[in-house]
Amino acid sequence: MAAIAHQLGLADDVKRYNDRAERLIELMNATFWDEADGMYYDRNEKTGKLVKVKSATCFMPLFAGAATPDRARRTLREYYDAETGLGLGQTRFWGFTALYYGMRLEWQLRYDASSLDKRIEPIVARNLGVAFEG
């Protein structure tokens, strides 16, 4: 919304939307981040407790750009086994696919991991220091 407001020359709206985005990022980090586990989790809205199930949704704060680089690295290391190429005991394909859904890095690098006719590039390994084998 801030980008649209900027294009329309609405400076007050740009500031308002940017301030709101910053506040949402703060809330996302305060609400869903588990420091001990190094993971973002869903939350049970009735109890207010985190639902400690690791899944592709744990990557949504990364995708939204809310995670710091350190938290992104920790989340990846908790979820993805660089020694086997597997994500939580799933198939090798699922491990790579889950990374795709959560990585804003691909947007920043203009990398399209969904393209089946291109070579898979180790962008996470190069940019976040997570090693991939094979």
For residue 17, what pLDDT is reported?
Answer: 92
Say if 73 falls within a structural domain.
yes
Give me the number of domains the chain comprises. Answer: 1
For residue 101, what pLDDT is reported?
Answer: 47
Q: DSSP code of 86?
A: E
For residue 11, what pLDDT is reported?
Answer: 95
Say if 52 falls within a structural domain.
yes
Say if 10 falls within a structural domain.
no
Name residue 43's amino acid: R
Say if 4 falls within a structural domain.
no
pLDDT band, very low/low/confident/very high, at 35 (cuts 50, 70, 90): very high
Q: Which domain holds residue 109?
A: 34-128
Q: What percent of the chain has pLDDT over 70?
A: 57
pLDDT at 129 over 90: no
Say if 74 falls within a structural domain.
yes
pLDDT at 98 over 60: no
Give pTM, 2 decimals.
0.58
CA dihedral 88, 94, 95, 98 (to 10 degrees): -100
Say if 18 falls within a structural domain.
no
* Cβ contact 101:61 at 8 Å: no
Say if 2 falls within a structural domain.
no
For residue 14, what pLDDT is reported?
Answer: 94
Say if 21 falls within a structural domain.
no
Mean pLDDT value across the chain? 75
Which whole number is the average pLDDT over 60-82?
80
For residue 112, what pLDDT is reported?
Answer: 60
